[in-house]
Amino acid sequence: MPARWIDGREVAACVRRAVGAAAARFSERTGRAPGLEVVLVGDDPASHLYVRNKERAAVECGIRGHVHRLAATSTQDEVRTLVARLGERDDVDGILVQLPLPSGIDARAVLDAIDPERDVDGLHPVNAGRLASGRPGLRPCTPAGCMRLLDAVGFDVRGRHALVVGRSALVGKPVALMLLERDATVTIAHSRSTDLESLCKRADVLVVAVGRPGLVRGSWIRPGAVVLDVGTTRGADGKLRGDVDPSAAEHAAWMTPVPGGVGPMTVAMLLANTIEAAYRRAGLEPPTC
Ligand code: GUN
């Protein structure tokens, strides 16, 4: 069965329209726009690009966005203090610290300083614990985007084999838990796993988040599977490549392209999380975005 490509840009645009309507209603009811503060430390060009995209997307949806750009020489205490102060402001609903942080700053120590109720990246241990223990909370954006793409193609994971390749705190672990929350039978593979090929061959849903272009071969895909490729590695030719060989499209029922698949969903779900945090902080029932 040939793949139909999942258009992440289209699904993300739909989420952003819902965010725009929710932000307008929030402003009417509370007299202020939802606020998102992004902390960017250092000079990593890719991080600067991602953060510009987040700021632009927020403002387009009626969210007040502000970026704090800190020098690479900033100390861990300076970053922690900024993050803690943002968590004391009434007009701040979402706080995001762009990763990676410069070497010498312990990302975990910084993430710990974020107020969990404004942790729109879902990376604070309180939100990670809420996810692991099946309680409501802010969920990490890329995994939430993956789940939204499964919804968009109408794929019910209940009872199906899901394979997650990658075990990062940002994507692999949370997406595995979110699949489990929906009753999938979940396997997590990683760099020490043996026989990735046979694990892939029995997966009905495959989420690959490693950052090794072409790691998963097309012939490893079970016919009719749904393939979500989170990898984005820029090659010497300047083109982005995913972790799954594009020939997988010949076997999958649905597959995300790179670029234009999972990537746009990360920003859209960040905005949706900001809406959720804003409504909850104001004592309002959050709408579904
Ligand atoms: N760096 C790459 N992806 C992400 C993300 O989703 N959140 C943060 N904070 N940093 C990132």
Q: Ligand 1 pocket check: which of 97, 127, 170 to mutate, most ligand atoms within 8 Å of Cβ?
A: 170
Residue 108: predicted pLDDT: 98
Contact between 109 and 272 under an 8 Å Cβ cutoff? The reply is: no
Instruction: For 9-59, write each residue's pLDDT tens digit.
Output: 999 999 999 999 999 999 999 999 999 999 999 999 999 999 999 999 999
Is the pLDDT at 183 greater than 70, yes or no? yes
Instruction: For 133-178, write each residue's pLDDT tens digit.
Output: 999 999 999 999 999 999 999 999 999 999 999 999 999 999 999 9
Give dist(CA 9, CA 12) in Å, integer.
Answer: 5
Catalytic residue from among 54, 115, 229, 245: 54
Structural domains of the chain, with CATH: 30-120 (3.40.50.10860), 141-263 (3.40.50.720)
Catalytic residue from among 93, 119, 121, 204: 121
pTM for the predicted model, two decimal places: 0.97
| pLDDT interval class at 109 (50, 70, 90) | very high
Residue 3: predicted pLDDT: 80
pLDDT mean across residues, the chain: 97
Compute the half-sphere exposure of residue 107: CA atoms within 13 Å on the CB side of its CA: 16
- Average pLDDT of the residues in 103-111: 97
Q: Which of 149, 103, 95, 164 is nearest to 124 (CA)?
A: 95
Catalytic annotation on 54? yes
Pocket of ligand 1 (CB under 6 A): 96-99, 121, 141-142, 170, 266
pLDDT over 70, % of the chain? 99
Q: Ligand 1 pocket check: which of 67, 111, 121 to mutate, most ligand atoms within 8 Å of Cβ?
A: 121
Q: Which of 70, 40, 42, 45 is nearest to 55 (CA)?
A: 40
Ligand 1 centroid distance, CA of 141 (Å): 9
Residue 136: predicted pLDDT: 97
Residue 200: predicted pLDDT: 98
Catalytic annotation on 76? no
CA distance readout (Å), 223 to 167, 228, 249: 25, 15, 10
Residue 221: predicted pLDDT: 98
Provide the 10 A C-beta neighbour count for residue 47. Answer: 16
Give dist(CA 109, CA 98) in Å, integer.
Answer: 14
| pLDDT interval class at 181 (50, 70, 90) | very high
Give dist(CA 200, CA 219) in Å, integer.
Answer: 10
Tell which atom from ligand 1 comes closest to the C-alpha of 97: 9
Residue 1: predicted pLDDT: 62
Instruction: For 79-98, write each residue's pLDDT tens digit.
Output: 999 999 999 999 999 999 99
The residue whose C-alpha atom lies closest to atom 8 belonging to ligand 1 is: 98
Ligand 1 centroid distance, CA of 272 (Å): 15
Q: φ, ψ for residue 141 (rounded to 5)?
A: -70, -45
Q: Where are the alpha helices (DSSP H) in the chain?
A: 8-30, 45-60, 76-86, 107-111, 125-132, 141-152, 172-181, 196-201, 263-281
Catalytic annotation on 98? yes
Ligand 1 centroid distance, CA of 278 (Å): 20
Is the pLDDT at 116 greater than 70, yes or no? yes
